[in-house]
């Protein structure tokens, strides 16, 4: 009987599963103190040649997730005197396997990284950052490039919601 090393298989399995967002909060910061959220504009730093501007779609997906999680959203940071969480997001990396040259032995994969900086809406003080990444192999988990990007945006919104309750 041949023994197959387990470590490479675990690495491969990890690359095909959704990744948990990385959350880095400043010492002593709790998002539970923030009941109102302002989602600022999204920037695209990926360099990927999207056929249309996806920034508004990413912003809308984060907003939808925050609403679903029961958070109050405000149009700007002057809306209320209550503590406001201001979220500034960027699409940092994007790769679509659909653009890769296909060969019978090629494994095409797609991936994205979306990061959100969390700021106090009144003072501008940095509270932390959430980085969501998603990888998929188009052979085993067919996901459209847009769907992959929306998954990253949803994960950011879910993590803000989880940390706010």
pTM: 0.81
Tell whether the model's pLDDT for residue 32 goes beyond 60.
yes
- Dig out the tokens for 100 from the structure: 């890769």
Q: Is residue 9 part of a domain?
A: no
What is the percent of the chain where pLDDT is above 70?
78
Q: Is residue 1 part of a domain?
A: no
Tell whether the model's pLDDT for residue 9 goes beyond 70.
no
Which CATH number does the domain housing residue 48 bear? 3.40.50.10610
Domain that holds residue 80: 17-164
Q: Is residue 5 part of a domain?
A: no
The pLDDT, as a whole number, for residue 142 is 56
Q: Is residue 3 part of a domain?
A: no
Q: Is residue 6 part of a domain?
A: no
CA 59/CA 63 separation, integer angstroms: 6
Q: Where are the alpha helices (DSSP H) in the chain?
A: 6-16, 55-68, 145-164
State the average pLDDT for the chain.
Answer: 84
Query: Which whole number is the average pLDDT over 106-132?
Result: 91
Q: Is residue 31 part of a domain?
A: yes
Query: Which whole number is the average pLDDT over 121-129?
Result: 97
Q: How many domains does the chain have?
A: 1
CA 13/CA 134 separation, integer angstroms: 13
Q: Is residue 11 part of a domain?
A: no
Tell whether the model's pLDDT for residue 72 goes beyond 70.
yes
The pLDDT, as a whole number, for residue 106 is 53
The pLDDT, as a whole number, for residue 10 is 36
What is the percent of the chain where pLDDT is above 90?
61
For 72-103, give the DSSP string: EE-SSTTS-SS-EEEEEEEEEEEE-GGGSPP-
Q: Is residue 115 part of a domain?
A: yes
Contact present, 82 and 122 (Cβ < 8 Å): no
């Amino acid at each position: 009987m041949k023994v197959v090393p387990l470590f490479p298989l675990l690495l491969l399995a990890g690359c095909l599963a959704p990744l948990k967002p990385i959350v880095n909060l400043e010492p002593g910061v709790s998002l539970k103190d923030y009941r109102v959220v302002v989602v600022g504009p999204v920037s695209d730093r990926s360099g990927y040649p999207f056929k249309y501007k996806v920034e508004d779609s990413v912003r809308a997906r984060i907003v939808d997730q925050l609403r679903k999680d029961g958070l109050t959203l405000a149009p700007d940071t002057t809306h209320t005197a209550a503590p406001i969480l201001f979220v500034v997001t960027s699409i940092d990396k994007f790769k679509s396997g659909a653009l890769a040259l296909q060969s019978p032995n090629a494994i095409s994969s797609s991936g994205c990284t979306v990061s959100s900086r969390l700021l106090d809406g009144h003072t501008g003080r940095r509270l932390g950052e959430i980085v969501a990444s998603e990888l998929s192999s188009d052979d085993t988990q067919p996901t459209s490039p847009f769907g992959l990007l929306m998954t990253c945006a949803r994960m950011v919104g879910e993590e803000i919601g989880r940390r706010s309750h």
